[in-house]
Amino acid sequence: MRNPRTAKATALMKSSEPQQTSTARPSMSIYSDMGLRRVVIIVALANLAYFFVEFAMARRIGSVSLFADSIDFLEDASVNLLIALAIGWSPRNRARVGMLLAAILMAPVLALLWTAWQKFNVPTPPEPWLLSLTGLGAMVVNFGCALLLARFRHHGGTLTRAAFLSARNDVLANIGIILAGVITLQWSSGWPDLIVGLAIAAVNVDAAKSVWSAARKEHLLPSA
């Protein structure tokens, strides 16, 4: 199954192709464009807000999985903001922002890997109840974002569909965090949190690489 985050990056490049007129695409009127822009801005703000919540909790209880998932929220906030901007921006400007986004995403990923290495040496368990409750909150946010994006997933372009699939699949990662908290409650081990965190981190690294690759290809396209 194709990674939806890779699909988001590929769609950044595809979205630069010349668009048909509104008469050739009656399903995407100016009103649906406005509706899409409003929804992705709401989704971006929701992801950004929960990034701060989850990042603060990750630092408080020393959770690798929450740290990794907070980076995921930051990435989703950035990508949805790019969708809103891409509606009116030129391909080259989108490419520049995309490459900047990829570079920005790698900084917290490196910090995450350093945190994971420290936890690997001393795998102290995070507080299980706070871990599960924060994961539950993340699941609610992602589920709500998926519902908002669902209306546009078939006619809002490949990037919008990828954003919907990403939010939907993020719910599964949040379930993993909740289960890590439950297992930690039973066995008082730091390994479940570490394993889930590394799995989420691997997806984030792949996303940053894909965004950079797609943005470079888009930057090489001739200007309109």
Per-residue pLDDT tens digits of the chain, which is 224 residues long: 555 565 555 554 454 444 444 444 444 455 567 888 899 999 999 999 999 999 999 999 999 999 999 988 988 898 888 778 777 677 777 677 777 777 766 767 777 788 788 788 877 899 999 999 999 999 999 999 999 999 887 766 666 777 787 888 899 899 999 999 999 999 999 999 999 998 888 877 776 676 677 667 766 666 55
Q: Residue 23: what pLDDT?
A: 44
Which residues, other chains included, contact 162 with Cβ-Cβ below 8 Å and sequence gap of 6+? 4, 5, 7, 8, 10, 11
**pTM, entire model:** 0.76
Q: Which tokens belong to 63? A: 């959770």
Give the pLDDT score at 153. 79
Task: Tell me how far apart the alpha carbons of residues 77 and 52 are, in angstroms, rounded to a whole number.
Answer: 12
Joined together, the tokens standing for residue 11 give 């769609």
| pLDDT for the residue 92 | 74
Two tokens, residue 61: 């209880």
Burial 68-88 (b: 16+ CB within 10 A, else e): bbbbbbbbbbbbbbbbbebee
User: Looking at residue 133, what is its pLDDT?
Assistant: 98
The two three-digit tokens of residue 67, written as one number: 């740290």
Both tokens of 35, joined, read 């509706």
Where do we find the tokens 């990056």? 9
pLDDT score at 9: 54
The pLDDT of residue 113 is 80
> Domain segments of the chain: what residues?
4-12+30-219
pLDDT of residue 66: 95
